[in-house]
């Protein structure tokens, strides 16, 4: 190159650390990457007529004796002739350029920093032998922490051991990953069947739980627009489904009900579909609990979730309203590409266009949140007015005197003003609120009728001061203190 001698390019072993351990902040991502590769293999097996569309299966088993995780699928498998080349490739996936979920060739090694050893076994239809490669993770970690700089090639060569054998009792096509010697994290999430299933229920390409009443409708609408892969996923023998259900927790003592779903088509510039999704409509009682696992509008490609529950927060006028929403959008536009960590999309015009087209839906959800919040406040105030009116009637019942009569009239006026102000918000009143206001109004009218028999002007200065105190207590919501204030009425009036 212009007569300048070029030295041989050397790629250091630290690249392996950057592309695996340092790439993922959440250790559970290891399982997502393995399930993602398994889903691609299952889809290929379906295309080759090796299994039916509903027969894809991924099993995750925990072996407590040596803290080992086994992930196995019944997908296409790796042919014997391709096994060694693909298992040694780092960042050079053979799936690049297709529509498959994994295409960077690094995800299968995400567990290098969290397990002592990783073993991969596979064979494809027609192969007589099972191929196996073992990665010594401890060797990798030792090489990466050594003061001597090692090349990527030397690290991989030193860490891997290949073997092959005839298998008479193995499936005709499969892929298996054995993760040996899981690290003990503080919450032991890497070796917790519950945590693994909980995480994968959100990200894996699986179906809705049978008891989610909207699930069949959503799936039918999706299948009208695209082929949707749903695999059967089992963790420790138990099936895993998406976590959506008819009632979703807001707080420990309060849930919100999914009443219906709205389907949304997002067009692309070529008159096709950029994305298709659904938005659940609830009673919008508040932000959903993060532990519910369903809050926020989510995004999927190939039915694998990208990012978390905040990936579409930007389409709302205020990001907080995303936590009031439930829904999923499946992206079809190939220009919208997940980044290497799959926690967001690579920036681009197509991503901006998707956000802009979803913004009206975010605004509509925000408006509904505000509307329902206002309605709840009105309903709460109406109920409070009815309770206040009943409490006042109970406090004043049987009492006589000019101050009491004046208090009745003044308090009835306060109640009536509050009732009328709420009645003006007719659109926000439900039947419960209307009933409460009618009850409060009846009580206020009775109080006013009794209170008109006396005039406040006939009260002495101390009684008028006492009346002011009573009105202040009512306005402050301290009705329980009005009765003690009235106990001295007779003594004050006797001083006249």
Which residues sit opposite 205 in a β-bridge?
Answer: none
Average pLDDT over residues 23-33: 85
Give how many domains the chain has, as a whole number.
Answer: 3
- Going by DSSP bridges, is the β-strand pair 254-257/238-240 parallel, antiparallel, or unpaired? unpaired
| Structure confidence by residue, pLDDT tens digits, 290-312 | 888 999 999 999 999 999 999 99
For residues 51-64, give the mean pLDDT: 96
Q: Which of 318, 340, 369 marks a domain boundary?
A: 369
Give the pLDDT of residue 22: 64
User: pTM of the entire structure?
Assistant: 0.80
In a domain, 4, yes or no: no
pLDDT mean across residues, the chain: 85
Is 8 part of a structural domain of the chain?
A: no
Residue 309 DSSP label: T
Residue 479 confidence (pLDDT): 75
Whether 197 is covered by a domain: the verdict is no
91-100 confidence digits (pLDDT tens): 655 554 445 5
Out of 191, 213, 232, pick the residue that ends a domain. 191
Q: What is the pLDDT of residue 69?
A: 96
Is there a single domain that holds both residue 36 and residue 169? yes
| Same domain assignment for residues 340 and 434 | no
Task: Clarify whether residues 106 and 20 are in a common domain.
Answer: yes
Indicate whether 81 and 29 sit together in one domain.
Answer: yes
d(CA 139, CA 131): 22
Domain of 430? Answer: 370-494
Residue 453 pLDDT: 47
Tell me if 241 is assigned to some domain: no
How high is the pLDDT of residue 5?
53
Do residue 351 and residue 379 come from a single domain? no
Tell me the two tokens of residue 370.
């505000």
Model confidence at 457: pLDDT above 80: no
173 occurs within a structural domain: yes
Residue 101 is part of a domain; what is its CATH number? Answer: 3.30.565.10
Most confident of 405-409, 437-441, 488-492: 437-441
Q: What is the pLDDT of residues 345-364, one digit of tens each?
A: 999 999 999 999 999 999 99
Q: What's the chain's Rg over C-alpha atoms?
A: 34
pLDDT at 128 over 80: yes
Q: Is the same domain home to 375 and 337?
A: no
Query: Cα(108)–Cα(87) distance, rounded to whole angstroms?
Result: 9
Residues 362 and 390 in one domain: no
User: What pLDDT is stored for residue 278 in this prediction?
Assistant: 97
Do residues 385 and 336 share a domain? Answer: no
Q: Are residues 352 and 265 in the same domain?
A: yes
Q: What is the pLDDT of residue 496?
A: 45
Residue 402 has pLDDT above 80, yes or no: no
Predicted local confidence at residue 149, as pLDDT: 67
| 284-288, 322-326, 364-368, 376-380, range with the lowest pLDDT | 376-380
Task: Determine how many CB atoms are found less than 10 A away from the CB of residue 270.
Answer: 8
Q: How far is CA 483 from the centre of its chain?
A: 50
pLDDT of 280 above 80: yes
Summarize pLDDT for 229-267 with one digit per residue, the tens.
Answer: 999 999 999 999 999 999 998 877 788 999 999 999 999
pLDDT given at position 2: 56
Residues 111 and 187 reside in one and the same domain: yes
pLDDT the model gives residue 3? 54
Largest CA distance in the chain: 117
Q: State residue 134's pLDDT score.
A: 95
Work out the pLDDT band at 495, boundaries 50, 70, 90: very low
Q: Are residues 62 and 173 in the same domain?
A: yes
Asked if residue 81 has pLDDT above 50, the reply is yes
Let me know if residue 410 belongs to a domain. Answer: yes
Predicted pLDDT at 23: 65
Do 257 and 377 fall into the same domain?
no
Residue 21 has pLDDT above 70, yes or no: no
pLDDT at position 190 is 93
| Final residue before a domain boundary, out of 320, 351, 369 | 369
223 falls in which pLDDT band (50, 70, 90)? very high
pLDDT of residue 96: 46
Q: What is the 3-state secondary structure (H, E, C) of the chain?
A: CCCCCCCCCCCECHHHHHHCHHHCCCCCHHHHHHHHHHHHHHHHHHHCCCCCCCCCEEEEEEEHHHCEEEEEECCCCCCHHHHHHHHHCCCCCCCCCCCCCCCCCCHHHCCCCCEEEEEEEEECCCCCEEEEEEEEHHHHHHHHHCCCCCEHHHHHHHHEEEEEEECCCCCCCEEEEEEEEECCCCCCHHHCHHHHHHHHHHHCCCCECCCCCCHHHHHHHHHCCCCCCCCEEEECCEEECECCCCEEEEECCEEEECCEEEEEEEECCCCCEEEEEEEEECCCCCCCCHHHCCCEEEEEECCEEECCCCCCHHHCCCHHHHHHCEEEEEECCCCCCECCCCCCECCCHHHHHHHHHHHHHHHHHHHHHHHHHHHHHHHHHHHHHHHHHHHHHHHHCCCCCHHHHHHHHHHHHHHHHHHHHHHCCHHHCCHHHHHHHHHHHHHHHHHHHHHCCCCHHHCCHHHHHHHHHHHHHHHCCCHHHHHHHHCCHHHHHHCC
User: What does DSSP assign to residue 271?
Assistant: S
What's the whole-number mean pLDDT along residues 198-226?
95
pLDDT of 110 higher than 90: no
1 domain-assigned: no
Task: Report d(CA 382, CA 419) in Å as an integer.
Answer: 8
Look at 168-172, 187-191, 223-227, 408-412 and tell me which has the smallest mean pLDDT: 408-412
- Distances in Å between the Cα of 198 and the Cα atoms of 189, 220, 229 are 10, 25, 20
Question: Considering the domain boundaries, does residue 402 fall inside one?
Answer: yes
Q: Among residues of the chain, what percentage have pLDDT more than 70?
A: 86
């Amino acid at each position: 190159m212009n007569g300048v001698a070029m030295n041989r390019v050397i790629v250091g072993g630290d690249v392996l650390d950057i592309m695996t351990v340092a790439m993922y902040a959440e250790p559970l991502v290891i399982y997502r990457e393995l399930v993602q590769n398994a889903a691609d293999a299952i889809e290929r097996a379906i295309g080759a007529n090796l299994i039916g569309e509903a027969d894809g299966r991924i099993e995750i088993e925990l072996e407590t004796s040596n803290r080992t995780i086994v992930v196995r699928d019944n997908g296409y498998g790796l042919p014997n002739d391709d096994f060694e080349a693909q298992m040694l490739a780092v960042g050079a996936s053979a799936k690049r350029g297709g529509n498959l979920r994994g295409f960077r060739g690094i995800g299968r090694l995400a567990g290098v920093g969290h397990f002592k050893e990783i073993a991969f076994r596979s064979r494809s239809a027609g192969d007589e032998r099972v191929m196996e490669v073992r990665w010594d993770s401890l060797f990798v970690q030792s090489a990466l922490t050594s003061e001597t700089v090692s090349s990527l090639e030397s690290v991989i060569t030193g860490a891997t051991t290949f073997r092959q054998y005839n298998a008479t009792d193995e499936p005709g096509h499969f892929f298996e990953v054995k993760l040996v010697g899981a690290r003990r994290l503080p919450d032991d999430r890497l070796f917790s069947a519950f945590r693994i299933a909980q995480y994968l229920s959100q990200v894996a390409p699986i179906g809705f739980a049978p008891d989610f009443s909207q699930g069949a409708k959503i799936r039918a609408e999706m299948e009208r627009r695209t082929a949707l892969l749903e695999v059967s996923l089992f963790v420790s023998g138990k099936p895993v489904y998406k976590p959506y259900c008819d009632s979703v927790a807001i707080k420990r003592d309060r849930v919100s009900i999914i009443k219906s779903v709205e389907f949304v088509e997002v067009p692309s510039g070529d008159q096709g579909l950029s994305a298709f999704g659904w938005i659940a409509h609830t009673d919008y009682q508040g932000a959903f609990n993060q532990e519910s696992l369903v809050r926020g509008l989510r995004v999927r490609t190939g039915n694998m979730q990208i990012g978390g529950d905040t990936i579409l927060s930007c389409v709302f006028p205020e990001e907080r309203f995303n936590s009031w929403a439930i829904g999923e959008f499946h992206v079809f536009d190939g220009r919208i590409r997940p980044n290497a960590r799959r926690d967001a999309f690579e920036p681009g015009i197509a991503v901006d266009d998707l956000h802009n087209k979803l913004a009206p839906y975010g605004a509509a959800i925000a408006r509904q949140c505000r509307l329902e919040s206002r309605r709840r406040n009105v309903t709460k105030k109406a109920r409070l007015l009815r309770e206040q009116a009943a409490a006042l009637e109970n406090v004043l019942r049987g009492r006589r005197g000019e101050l009491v009569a004046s208090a009745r009239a003044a308090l009835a006026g306060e109640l009536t003003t509050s009732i009328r102000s709420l009645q003006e918000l007719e659109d926000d009143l439900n039947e419960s609120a209307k009933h409460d206001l009618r009850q409060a109004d009846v009580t206020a009218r009775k109080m006013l009728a009794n209170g008109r028999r006396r005039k406040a002007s006939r009260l002495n200065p101390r009684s008028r001061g006492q009346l002011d105190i009573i009105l202040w207590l009512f306005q402050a919501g301290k009705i329980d203190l009005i009765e003690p204030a009235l106990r001295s009425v007779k003594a004050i009036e006797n001083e006249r």
